[in-house]
Structures are given as C-alpha cells and as structure tokens.
Amino acid sequence: MNDEWFSKLKEFDSLTNMRSRLLGQINEQNKRLDILNLKRQEKEQGINAAVKDLHEIQQTYHETEKKLNTSEQQANRLKDTGAAEEKIRPYIQEAQRCETQMFELLEKIDHQEKEIEESRTFLKGLEKTSQEIKLEADTEIETHQNEVIQLNKRLDLIKEELPSEFKTALEKTLQKKLAIGPFTRTDQSHCYFCRYKISRTEESEIDIQKLLKHCPQCTRIFLPYGC
C-alpha cells in the first residue's frame, strides 16, 4: 500500500538528480563564458601595455633626435668659428651615437607596431568567437533554467501528493542537505551509503513490508526494492 508513495519518492529522487545535472551544465556554461572573458581581458591588457611601451620608445626617439640636432648645430657652430678639431669631435661623436640609437629605436618601434597590430587582429577574432559562443551558451543556459523551473514545479507537486508521514520524512531529510541525496537502499543487511548494519527484521520491514524507515546512522530514507 505504500508502493505508490515510494514510487513517488523514487521519482522525486530521479528528478532531483536530473535537476543537479542541469544545474551542473548551467555552471559549466557560465565557467566557459568566464574563461573567455578572462582571456579577452588579458589580451586587452597586453595590448594596452604594448601601446604604452610604444609611446615610451617614441618619446625616447624624439628626445634623441633633439640631442642629435643640438650636437650637429653645436659642431657646425664650432666649425664656423674655426675651432680646433678636438673641440668639435665630441659633438660629432655624440651626433653619431644619437644616430645609431635612433636607428635601433626605429627598429624597436617597427617591431612593436607589428606586434600590436597582430594582437589586435587576434583580439578581433577572439571577440567574434566569444560572441558566437556566448550566444550558444546563453541559449543553453536559458533552456536549462526553464527545465529547472519545470522540475521544481514537479518536485513541489510530488511533495504535496505525499501523505503527511512521507512528506514530513522527506522534508526533514532534505533539510540536512545530504550528499548524493536523501535516499538509500538496503545492501546485504547494510545501508547502501554508510554501511550501517541493519537487522534481518528491519531489512524485511523495509523491503517486504515496505514500511517507511530511516537509516539510524546517516538518516537517509530507505527505498524498498522493487520501488
């Protein structure tokens, strides 16, 4: 006579498992989106840092160019006034040093600009892929969320359909939020989950007479065999 209520508990159990799976899938999709966002942020930060470096190199280039001009002007001025060779030489050497440095800086600027360009192209691709994945993930999340809502309704309904003894037992056990759910079975005179030893009499009360019983140790509700 308790068969019907136990089969409702069994249904409750399988719907709860289904809900856990759906919530897990929602979680997975959210994680997937988080990873993508993080990847994009990192790339953006990398580009910003590279642009900042580029500006610094350009700044150094302009400063070196100024030094070069000053040295050349100074050298020319000294030449015009007929100054001695050894007085002019340091300015010419400084101008040459500046020229070499500017050449190196130009190479650096060129390299940096290419890297930024490549990163920007990569980021554009990443954003396009992200948008596609987000669309797909959002659709899946929404579908699963709706399924969870339907499952919750069905679970509430099952609880309402149960006689008070079963309903109270279920609610009390659910409150404990036990891992892998509120139900267990007998397994060779033991609780399947916590291995608590139960007597032959109790085992028969559970599986043959189909009485509502809890495991004395882990407090899970026994579902009789065949239910």
Binding site for Zn ion (CB under 5 A): 191, 193-194, 196, 215, 217-218
- Tokens coding 36: 């993508």
Closest distance to Zn ion from the beta carbon of 182 (Å): 11
C-alpha span between 224 and 47 (Å, rounded):
63
Q: How far is the CB of 24 from Zn ion (least distance, A)?
A: 25
> What are the φ and ψ backbone dihedral angles of 122, each rounded to 5 degrees?
-60, -45
Note whether 186 and 195 are within 8 A (CB): no
List all residues 6 or more positions away from 1 whose beta carbon is below 8 Å from its beta carbon. 210
Nearer to Zn ion, 189 or 217 (CB): 217
Q: Please, which residue, 212 or 215, has the CB nearer to Zn ion?
A: 215
Closer to Zn ion at the Cβ: 158 or 221? Answer: 221
CA–CA separation, 105 and 82 (whole Å)? 34
Q: What minimum distance in Å lies between the beta carbon of 13 and Zn ion?
A: 15
Compute the least distance from the CB of residue 158 to Zn ion, in Å: 23
CB of 220 to Zn ion, least distance (A): 5
Cβ-Cβ contacts under 8 Å for 192 (sequence gap 6 or more): 184, 185, 186
CA dist 105 and 55 (Å) reads: 12
Between residues 30 and 217, which has the closer beta carbon with respect to Zn ion? Answer: 217
Q: Tell me whether residue 151 or residue 194 sits nearer to Zn ion (CB atom).
A: 194
